[in-house]
Amino acid sequence: MKKLGILGGGQLGRMLLQAAANYPVVTFVLENDPDCPAAKLCQHFTLGDFRNYDDVLAFGRQVDILTIEIEAINVDALETLVAEGKTVIPSPAVLRTIKNKVTQKAFYAQHAIPTPSFVVTETLQDLHQHTDKLPAVHKVGEGGYDGKGVQMLHSADDFPKGFDAPSVLEQKVDIATEIAVLAAVDQAGKVVLYPPVEMVFDPVLNLLDYQLCPAQIDKTVLWKAEAIVMRLVKAFGSAGLFAVELLVDKQGEVWVNETAPRVHNSGHHSIEAHYSSQYDMLLRVLLNYPLGNPDALSGSALVNLIGEPGYSGPARYEGLEEILKMPGAYVHIYGKAQTKPGRKMGHVTVLGTDRIDLTRKARLIKEGLKVKA
Amino acid sequence: MKKLGILGGGQLGRMLLQAAANYPVVTFVLENDPDCPAAKLCQHFTLGDFRNYDDVLAFGRQVDILTIEIEAINVDALETLVAEGKTVIPSPAVLRTIKNKVTQKAFYAQHAIPTPSFVVTETLQDLHQHTDKLPAVHKVGEGGYDGKGVQMLHSADDFPKGFDAPSVLEQKVDIATEIAVLAAVDQAGKVVLYPPVEMVFDPVLNLLDYQLCPAQIDKTVLWKAEAIVMRLVKAFGSAGLFAVELLVDKQGEVWVNETAPRVHNSGHHSIEAHYSSQYDMLLRVLLNYPLGNPDALSGSALVNLIGEPGYSGPARYEGLEEILKMPGAYVHIYGKAQTKPGRKMGHVTVLGTDRIDLTRKARLIKEGLKVKA
C-alpha cells in the first residue's frame, strides 16, 4: 500500500482522512498538536512543526506521496523531497508562489490572469504613496489565514491598520458576487471543474457567512470564470486540488481574488452534495487514480460553525439537536476541544433544490446553532 | 464530550468511525488485533477479547455508551455494565436472544413473527428424526457468520454436513426474493425504516453477490414487510439499528430469516445513496440525537468485494482504476492487509435510477474488480 503524508492536522486533514479510509493507503500526519482534529484518524501521527525544514524532511522520507492542508509549509524541505524522488502534490513551486500573496499576485499578472489592480508595499510608510488606490484592500504577503492578514483601507485614516511588512495593496473591486471554483488536476494534467459556489460573507468577522451551490450567475460569467480557472491551473502546471476565489464585478467581469492549492472551506458541501467530494477527488489525484465526477447530486448550502463572540473554553454546541432534525442537513463538528471567538469549529451542509429553500435553511442553521463555551 | 465504546474492530466499526468524526464524541474500540480495520480510526484502541468478561467490563467502564459491531460479545459483562449505569445499545437482552439462532427463532415464534417452520436439533443424530422437514436449512446456534454455520440439507445424505451442536433445522421456503429492511430505534422508542433492499446471493459461497435498492416488490409485500419489522423491533424493546433479513415466498408471504442488532452489510449503500447512512443513524441513536432521514437520494446497487478463490496473501485490487472511472461508483476498501478466499475485503456502491442500469453496473463491478494476492 502507498504511504500518504499530510502536512497539517486541522479539519481539512481530518475530512481528508475520513475519505482516505475508503482507499488502500497508509496515512501519516505531521502537526505540532497531539490533540489536533486529524491526530486520531491517521494511521501514523508525527508530532512536529511543518514550518521546520528538518521536521518536514524526516516526515516526508517515510512516505511515498505528500500533500498539504495549509500553505505555511517549509517549501525548501518539499523541494529536497522531490529531488529525492517523492511525489509532492501540489508542487513546491506552486506552493512557493501561492503562500506569499505578493508572489501570487505577480504570478497572475505574469500569466495575464485577471486580478484586481495592485501595488506591492514593503512598509506601512509606503501606503502614503498610493492614496490614489483607495478604497483598497491591504493583504499581508505571508501568514494571513481565515480573514486575518486582510485589512480594508477606506481612506488614509485607515493606514495604521495596514501591515508593516511586504504586502499587496489591491484596488477595491465593485463586487456584485463572490464565487469560488474548485479544480482538480490529475498527475497527467487532466482537469475537472466543480460548479461554482456563491459566497456570502459576514461583514464583521470577514469570514464566510454561508455559501450556496449552484451560484446564481449568468452563463457568460460562468464561462469567463471557467476559462480563467482552466488557464490558471494550466499555468500552475501542477497536479492537485485548487480552490479559486473569484470576484464578479457589477459589469460582469471576473477577477481572481486568491487561490488555495488544497482542499478548501468552499468545497465542504461536496461531501454530501456532489458525486465525488473534494476530499475523494484529492485522494484520487494523490493515488494516481482516475478523476471523480465533480457534478452535483443536489443543490446545497454550507454554513460554517464559528466560535461565538464572547465565549472561550470547552466547546458546547447550542441548538445541535434542532438542526439534526432538519431533513437533508449534515453536521460536521471538527473535534476541537476549545472554542474561541471566530474559530472554525465545524460546518453544516444542507441539501435543497431552489435558492429560496436553501437560503431559508442556511439562515435557520446560522441562527439556530451556536458554538459557545 | 460523550465517550463511545465499540466492541469489535472490523469494517463495520471502521465505517462507524468514519461517520463518528462528524460528531462531538470520543471513540474507543476493543479488538484483539492491533491491525484490525478500525484500530487506527478510533481515538482510543484497546487490545483485548470482546468474548472475555473481564476485558469487556474493563473496556466498558471507561466509556459512557457502548455498542457492538459483531454479536459474539460477552453479554454477561454488558449486563454488569448496564447495572453500573452505562448505556448499552442494543440491550444485552436483545443481544442474548439474537446471538444464538435457537433463541432467536424461539423469540420469533413467541411473538408471532412469521418465520420459516423449524425444529431444534441438539446433535447430528437428531436430524434423522426430522426427515419430514427436508429440504431444509441447518443453522448452528452460536458462532455462525458470513455464510459459515449455515448448511443446506437436500436429503438425508446431506446429514453428515450438518452441525453436531444445538442448531435450528428450518424448512426451506420457496423463495421468490430475499430482501432486507433496516430499522432504527431511538432511545425514546421512535422507529424509522429504510426502504427495503433486494439481495442476490452467490450460490457457491452463500455470500451476497450484489444488492439493489429499491427492491422490486409489490406494494402488499412492502406493507407486510414493514409491518413485520415494526412488530419485531417493538418486541425487542431496545434502541439500536436492526437489519432484518426477510424471505418473500412465491405466494407473496413474508418471513423473517434473521436479524442483526447492528449496522449490517445490507446497509452499506446508505452511505452515499440515502440522506442518513446506517452509520450516521446509529450514531444519532447512540448519542441520543434526533433520528435521521432514511429516504433514498438515488437508487443504488451494492457489490461486495470478496477475496477471490485461490488467492491468499497481501491484498491486490485488480481492476480498481477501471471501476473508479464509472460515474457514481464509490469504492470502499476495508484496509485488511491479507486476503483469503471468501473474505470480505471491501464493497462498491453505485448510484443509478433504474433497475436495468443498476444491474448492468453491478455486474460490471462484479466482473471488473477482483481481490487477489
CATH code for the domain in which residue B136 is found: 3.30.1490.20
Instruction: Specify whether the CB–CB gap between A243 and A159 falls below 8 A.
Output: no
Q: Quick one: pLDDT at residue A143?
A: 77
A84-106 tens-digit pLDDT: 999 999 999 999 999 999 999 99
Angstrom distance (rounded) from CA B128 to CA A213: 67
Name every chain B residue with its beta carbon within 8 A of the beta carbon of A327.
275, 293
Q: How far apart are CA A281 and CA A274, in angstroms?
A: 11
pLDDT tens for each residue of B9-25: 999 999 999 999 999 99
Q: How many domains does chain A have?
A: 3
pLDDT 10s digits, B306-338: 999 999 999 999 999 999 999 999 999 999 999
Residue A148 has a pLDDT of: 80
pTM for this prediction: 0.95
Position A204 confidence tier, pLDDT thresholds 50, 70, 90: confident
H helices within B84-153, ranges in order?
Answer: 92-99, 101-110
Q: Are residues A333 and A201 in the same domain?
A: yes
pLDDT band at A144 (very low <50, low <70, confident <90, very high): confident
Task: Look at residue B147 in the predicted model and tell me its pLDDT.
Answer: 65
Whichever domain contains A80, its CATH number is 3.40.50.20
The reply to whether A167 and A180 lie within a common domain is: no
Do B324 and A284 lie within an 8 Å CB cutoff? yes
Whether the Cβ atoms of residue B44 and residue B101 lie closer than 8 Å to each other = no
Between A25-39, A201-215, A245-259, B28-42, the lowest mean confidence (pLDDT) is in: A201-215
Confidence of residue B143 (pLDDT cuts 50, 70, 90): confident
Output the domain CATH number for residue A243: 3.30.470.20
> How far A112 CA sits from the closest chain B CA (Å)?
34
Chain B contacts of A21, Cβ < 8 Å? Answer: 14-15, 17-18, 41, 335
Q: How confident is the model at residue B76 (pLDDT cuts 50, 70, 90)?
A: very high
Mutate to test the interface with A, among B1, B11, B23 (most CBs of A within 10 A): B23
Predicted confidence at residue B10, as pLDDT, reads 97
Shortest CA distance from B13: residue in chain A: A21
CA distance B21 to B315: 27
Alpha-carbon gap, residue A164 to B13, rounded angstroms: 52
Instruction: Categorize the per-residue pLDDT at A208 as very low, low, confident or very high, splitting at 50, 70 and 90.
Output: low
pLDDT at B353: 85
In chain A, residues with a C-beta closer than 8 Å to the C-beta of B1 are 337
Percent of chain B with pLDDT over 90: 94
- How confident is the model over A233-290, as pLDDT tens digits? 999 999 999 999 999 999 999 999 999 999 999 999 999 999 999 999 999 999 999 9
One domain for residues B354 and B210? yes
In angstroms, the CA B287 to CA B267 distance is 20
Q: What is residue B314's predicted lDDT score, i.e. its pLDDT?
A: 96
Residue in B326, B329, B328 with CA at minimum distance from that of residue B346:
B329
Least confident of A142-156, A258-272, B91-105: A142-156
Q: Give yes or no for residue A56 having a pLDDT over 90.
A: yes
Span B251-305, pLDDT tens digits: 999 999 999 999 999 999 999 999 999 999 999 999 999 999 999 999 999 999 9
Any idea which residue has 486533514 for its cell?
Answer: A13
Grid coordinates of A337: 476541544
Predicted pLDDT at B58: 98
Percent of chain A surpassing pLDDT 90: 94
Is the per-residue pLDDT at B114 higher than 80? yes
Q: Is residue A107, in this structure, part of any structural domain at all?
A: no
Residue B186 sits in the same domain as residue B298: yes
B22–A315 CB contact, under 8 Å? no
Nearest-neighbour CA in chain A from B247: distance (Å)? 31
B70 and B210 in a single domain? The answer is no
- Would you state the cell numbers that stand for residue A368, as one nine-digit string? 439556530
Q: Does the residue A97 lie in any domain?
A: no
The one-character DSSP state at B148 is B
Which residues of chain A are at the B interface, by a Cβ-Cβ cutoff of 8 Å?
Answer: 1, 14-15, 17-18, 21-24, 27, 40-43, 275, 284, 289-290, 292-293, 297-298, 315, 317, 320-321, 324-325, 327-328, 330-333, 335, 337, 351
Query: Does the beta-carbon distance from B42 to A42 stay under 8 Å?
Result: no
Peptide bond into A34 cis (omega under 30): no
Chain A residues inside the 8 Å CB shell of B290 = 321, 324-325
Beta carbons of A297 and B297 less than 8 Å apart: yes
Residue that is written with C-alpha cell 477527488 in the block: A281
Domain that holds residue A147: 117-171
Does B95 reside within a domain? Answer: no
DSSP state at residue B128: G
Same domain, B144 and B219: no
Q: Give how far the C-alpha of residue B88 lies from the chain's centroid of Cα atoms, to the nearest Å.
A: 18
Asked whether residue B138 falls in the same domain as residue B194, the answer is no
- Chain B residues close to A353, C-beta within 8 Å: none
Query: Whole-angstrom Cα distance, residue A14 to residue A359?
Result: 28
In B, what residues contact A, Cβ < 8 A? 1, 14-15, 17-18, 21-24, 27, 40-43, 275, 284, 289-290, 292-293, 297-298, 315, 317, 320-321, 324-325, 327-328, 330-333, 335, 337, 351
Same domain for B180 and B329?
Answer: yes
For residue B63, give the 3-state DSSP assignment. coil
pLDDT per residue as tens digits for the range A220-234: 999 999 999 999 999
B316 vs B336: CA distance, rounded Å: 11
Which DSSP helix (H) or strand (E) runs through A316?
A: strand A316-318
B24 contacts A335? CB cut-off 8 A = yes
Q: Which of B171, B198, B216 is the last residue of a domain?
A: B171
- Residue B208 reports pLDDT greater than 80: no
**A287 and A270, same domain (yes or no):** yes
pLDDT of B148 reads 80
For residue A34, being part of any structural domain is answered with: yes
What ipTM, to 2 d.p.?
A: 0.93
Could you tell me which of A373, A360, A261, A370 has the C-alpha nearest to residue A313? Answer: A373
Report the Cα A348 to chain-centroid distance in Å. 16
